[in-house]
Each structure stands twice: as structure tokens, then as C-alpha cells.
């Protein structure tokens, strides 16, 4: 059982929905980012999604793209992202960390070496958006064998024919992308999301977490009420980009987690 599995077991026992927060590792710099990540559990975050900055983030909107650029310009690397997770683990051995990003940096490091290092650093799961199920032998299956969850994204265009393929080697949870398009674009609607969540949950026992387009505590509550929880990323990253202090960003995160936990 991974930390992700354990977290969902605890939340289910408590009758609570999950609140997942995404931040870009190294944005705007290593020290600030580490301080923010260390503060997330205290702000009510159940699972941390740590973005791995990459030069060509094709699934991300402007907010996340700019965060990645700031992180790269400040010297963030895959190794520093693993170091950040390891530093976090010195004081928190229970909050799950999911590394989210693209395959190129992992491929460049070498899959076997990366998985050993990620496990040692305390990473619990991976979301690699540019590796489709047809490439499961590349990273997904080795990751699961190494004890890491491999979390797959389902979208509004994942039809009933495609869905079983998406689900077959997924573990930890399923990430439902509530809107078509890139991160940070449209607003998610619970009315639109609810039937899709029901359709996917009829095909899997895994928790289903909804992300993209959630920007307010009210939206977090609304979306979490029709799923097993929600993810907020761009709205949190945008607060940091505005120059808010870590304390101010964490206060905003607390408002979002409170919303999700009211669901």
C-alpha cells in the first residue's frame, strides 16, 4: 500500500473528500517553493502534486507554463525536484507526493535510475501526461513494480471504447480532466462533471479526482461533492506569480481545502 492508497483509506473512513494541490517545483526559486510545499499539509492539503518543470509543457496553460519558465530560470532540475521531496520527507512521512510532468527529463535520466531515486526521495506516484497507455511498458509498469502509483488522466473525450485502455494499468487514483483544453482555461461545472464521474466510476474502484478549471472555494466544494475530491493548480500558482507571500498563498490554499472538505 502506497501513501496515496493509505490517504484515501483514511479519507473514506472519515467520510471526507480529498483536496489535492499542485505547485511547480522551484517556482519562483528553490527556497520559496520548498517553504510552500512544507506548508501545504498544514493548509489542509491531502495530496501534493509537485510539478516537474519542462521546456515544452504542451498540456499546460500560460499560468503553469510561466511557472515552469521561472523555475527553470532559477535553476530547478529533476535532481533538485527529487531533493525537494527528500527534504519534505524529513518532517512529513505521511502526506503523499505525486510528481507531475513530461517524459523527456525522466527518459534522459534513465527510467531505472529515476525510479530508484524517486522512491528513495519519497515520491509516491507519477502523472506523465505525454505517455499514452500504449507505452505502458516504457514507464507505467516499471513504476508500479517499483512501488509507485501511475496515475492516468481521463478527459471528456475519453469515450467508452477508450476508457478501459486508460484504466487498465492505472493505480492510486484516476485524474479526471473536467474540461477540454489546457490547464487554467475554462471553469469546471459540477453539472457537466457529475455524469462523467459516474460513467468512469462504473468502470473502476479507484478514487476519482477532478482537476482543471477549479479556482474558488465554492468551485472546490461543488466539484468535490460529485467526485472523490478535487485538484487545484493554476489558481494557486497564480497567487505566487502575483507576488503573494508564502503565508498568503497558504491562506488561499486553506480556503480551497476548506471548500473541498465541506463537500
Q: Which three cell numbers stand for residue 66?
A: 510561466
Three-state DSSP class for residue 94: coil
Is 5 a residue of the active site?
Answer: no
Which grid cell is 203? 468502470
Q: CB 243: neighbour CB atoms within 10 A?
A: 8
β-strand partners of 210: 176, 230
pTM of the model: 0.96
Distance separating alpha carbons of residues 219 and 225, to the nearest angstrom? 10
pLDDT for the residue 188: 77
Name every residue whose Cβ is closer than 8 Å to that of residue 1 and which is 6 or more positions away in sequence: 9
Measuring CA to CA, how many Å separate 61 from each of 11, 14, 26, 165, 237?
A: 31, 35, 18, 26, 11
Count of Cβ atoms closer than 10 Å to residue 78 Cβ: 21
Burial of 257 (C-beta count, 10 Å sphere; 0-12/13-18/19+): buried
Supply the pLDDT for residue 61.
87
Give the tens place of pLDDT for each residue, 129-162: 999 999 999 999 999 999 999 999 999 999 999 9
87 is known as an active-site residue: no
User: What confidence score (pLDDT) does residue 140 get?
Assistant: 98
Q: What is the pLDDT of residue 232?
A: 97
**Confidence (pLDDT) at 184:** 57
Asked if residues 124 and 98 have their Cβ atoms less than 8 Å apart, the reply is yes
Domain ranges across the chain = 3-261
Mean pLDDT per block of 10 residues along the chain (263 residues) reads 97 97 98 98 98 91 95 98 98 98 97 98 97 96 98 94 96 91 68 94 97 94 97 96 98 98 97
Instruction: Considering the candidates 5, 27, 46, 49, report the single residue annotated as catalytic.
Output: 49
* Backbone φ/ψ region at 143: left (φ over 0), alpha (ψ -120 to 50), beta: alpha
* CATH of range 3-261; options 2.40.50.140, 3.40.50.700, 3.20.20.70, 3.30.360.10: 3.20.20.70
* C-beta of residue 240 within 8 angstroms of C-beta of residue 67: yes
Name the catalytic one among 60, 117, 136, 228. Answer: 60
Amino acid at each position: 500500500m502506497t501513501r496515496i492508497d493509505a490517504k484515501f483509506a483514511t479519507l473514506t473512513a472519515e467520510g471526507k473528500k480529498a483536496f489535492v494541490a499542485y505547485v511547480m517545483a522551484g517556482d519562483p526559486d528553490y527556497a520559496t517553493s520548498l517553504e510552500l510545499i512544507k506548508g501545504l499539509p498544514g493548509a489542509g492539503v491531502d495530496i501534493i502534486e509537485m510539478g516537474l518543470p519542462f521546456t515544452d509543457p504542451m498540456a499546460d496553460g500560460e499560468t503553469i507554463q510561466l511557472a515552469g519558465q521561472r523555475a527553470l530560470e532559477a535553476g530547478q532540475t529533476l535532481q533538485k525536484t527529487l531533493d525537494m521531496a527528500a527534504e519534505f520527507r524529513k518532517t512529513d512521512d505521511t502526506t503523499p507526493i505525486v510528481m507531475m510532468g513530461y517524459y523527456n527529463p525522466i527518459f534522459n535520466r534513465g527510467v531505472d535510475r529515476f525510479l530508484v531515486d524517486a522512491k528513495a526521495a519519497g515520491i509516491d506516484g507519477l502523472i506523465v501526461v505525454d505517455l499514452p497507455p500504449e507505452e505502458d511498458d516504457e514507464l507505467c509498469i516499471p513504476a508500479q513494480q517499483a512501488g509507485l502509483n501511475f496515475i492516468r488522466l481521463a478527459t471528456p473525450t475519453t469515450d467508452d471504447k477508450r476508457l478501459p485502455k486508460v484504466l487498465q494499468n492505472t493505480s492510486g487514483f484516476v485524474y479526471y480532466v473536467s474540461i477540454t483544453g489546457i490547464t487554467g482555461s475554462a471553469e469546471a461545472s459540477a453539472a457537466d462533471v457529475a455524469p462523467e464521474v459516474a460513467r468512469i466510476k462504473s468502470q473502476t474502484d479507484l478514487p476519482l479526482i477532478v482537476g482543471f478549471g477549479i479556482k474558488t472555494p465554492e468551485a472546490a466544494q461543488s466539484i468535490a461533492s460529485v467526485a472523490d475530491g478535487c485538484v487545484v493548480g493554476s489558481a494557486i500558482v497564480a497567487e505566487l506569480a502575483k507576488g503573494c507571500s508564502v503565508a498568503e498563498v497558504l491562506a488561499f490554499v486553506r480556503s480551497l481545502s476548506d471548500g473541498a472538505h465541506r463537500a
